[in-house]
Amino acid sequence: MQSVSVLETGGRLTNGPPPEILTLNNVSKRFPGVLALDRVSFSLRRGEAHALCGENGAGKSTLMKVMSGVYQADEGEVIYKGKPCRFISSVDAEAAGIAIIHQELNLVPHLTVAENIFLAREPKRGIFVHRTKMRADAQALLDRLKLRIDPNQLVKSLSCAQQQMVEIAKALSLNTEVLIMDEPTSSLTESETGQLFEIINDLKRNGVSVVYISHRLDELKHIIDRVTVMRDGKFVCTDDFTNISLDTIVAKMVGRTLDEKFPERTSVPTTEALLTVKDLVRPGVFGPVSFDLRRGEILGFSGLMGAGRTEVARAIFGADPVASGAIYLGCEEVNIKSPIDAIGHGIAYLSEDRKQHGLAIRMSVAANLTLTNMAAVSNRFGFIDFAREEAVSKRYIEALGIKTPSSKQVAKNLSGGNQQKIVISKWLFRDSKIIFFDEPTRGIDVGAKFAIYQLMDKLASEGIGVVLITSELPEIMGMTDRVAVFHGGKITGIVNTRDTTQEQIMHLASGSGAGSIV
């Protein structure tokens, strides 16, 4: 990679701040019914990591897409390396040295690591791909990032963290000088996140500039030099990270102070078991697993990645087969072979990947809201009654505070928090009695998180059984009544949340502790 010249001070110039490599002046971008960016200005210096903060819908994603050529600004100017420019596509921006790594990774699973890194840019020997050189070049990039990944390995066999690193290697193969990262740690463990931070700091020392978007504000202290805050499509402020506190960042993001991260719980669980799972087994994946979910309870599923939390939820929902075990609703044993069976019994599952498994992103808000209960908005001939669909949609849009220009808006154009509310609404419209929330606040800002938490508490107060699957221990401690801790496909303990600590949960999650079942 051709890197810019920097001094041996971690990518910093000694006399004043480093020069700016990318500047956006008074940039505006409109979509039908939405002013996504309203005269926003942003600057990026050489060799710095600059955090872009704001709630979902603040305009962060739109701004980074303007930087990377995915969108073109309607007004304002983009200045790159001191010259005005207008990227007509992401390919155009990549050729100039600006690369973006999206939250949803863009890799081809059935190709190798090397093939993904150089996709459509393979080195040639005559008319044939020079595979030896391609593998060697890929290995050099992986070595530079200190990654122990075989360039011949298929991407589908890699973990999410390893795939994230391959995306970075792919970006660096483009001679990248500006790297834009959108929620890069959303699927990473703590140790994997630490490895990513080491890579980012190394990139900075080599003169690469990083735009970093994350809702995990506590991460910023490890890598960030400056912070820009946006709200409602507008620029709020830019400051050195050392001059601004996290509480101030949050206050500027939401336009108010957030004294509490979690709402006061109003739901009171009963002793009545809505769902009872006995000795559920999926060989090689989990089991035997036993637990119960009580009426009005929020039960947490905690554990490290790969511990079996999601797999158990999917099995109960009928998405994956089981070899043995029993599932009871109340006192009645039920036979769930498919999601249709589960839905018929009032069980809902909100996938951690809402865009792939929770939404029809190219369909309207109204169509998504009514997707699980089409019969309720259809006439006696089986055709959709659009007036009825509109009425239902308006009811849930208002009840859950979904921010959308209209019910006809395409779901993919909404923010992550509003997309999550749509997924929840469609299951409420189905009158679900048991709801599994799998990482419901992943990629969602602090304000939207609070709204989701309030909604979960409201559901529990209405007698619905809620299971919260989350990797965030503060979320477990702040929102659950009991927590089932997973390790190695088994439950190592079920404890009352108010009687435990984060440290005790981590001991159970690592397999080093023994817990009780309550």
What is the pLDDT, as a whole number, of residue 464?
Answer: 92
Strands (E) located in 142-297 = 178-182, 209-213, 226-231, 234-240, 273-282, 286-294
The more confidently predicted of residues 414 and 150 is 150
Q: What would the pLDDT profile of 301-330 be if each residue is shown by its tens digit?
A: 998 767 899 999 999 999 999 999 999 999
Please state, in angstroms and rounded to a whole number, the distance separating the CA atoms of residues 518 and 516: 6
Question: For residue 79, how far is the Cα from the chain centroid?
Answer: 30
What contacts 456, CB < 8 A, 6 or more positions away? 298, 437, 440, 466, 468, 479
Domain 1-8+17-97+175-256 belongs in CATH node 3.40.50.300: yes
Q: Is the pLDDT of residue 396 over 90?
A: no
* CA–CA gap between residue 319 and residue 207 (Å, rounded): 47
DSSP string, 323-360: SEEEEEETTEEE---SHHHHHHTTEEEE-S-IIIII--
CATH number assigned to the domain with residue range 260-346+432-518, chosen from the 4 options 3.40.50.300, 3.30.230.70, 3.30.420.40, 3.40.50.720: 3.40.50.300
CB neighbours of residue 130 within 10 Å: 14
Positions of CATH 3.40.50.300 in the chain: 1-8+17-97+175-256, 260-346+432-518
pLDDT, mean of residues 484-513? 88
Mean pLDDT of 466-473: 90
pLDDT digits (tens, 9 = 90+) for 353-390: 766 777 888 899 999 989 888 888 898 888 999 999 99
Mean pLDDT of the chain: 87
Determine the Cα–Cα distance for residues 217 and 438; give it in Å rounded to an integer: 21
Q: What is the pLDDT of residue 419?
A: 85
**At residue 339, what are phi and psi to the nearest 5 degrees?**
-60, -30
How far apart (Å, rounded) are the C-alpha atoms in residues 317 and 102?
30
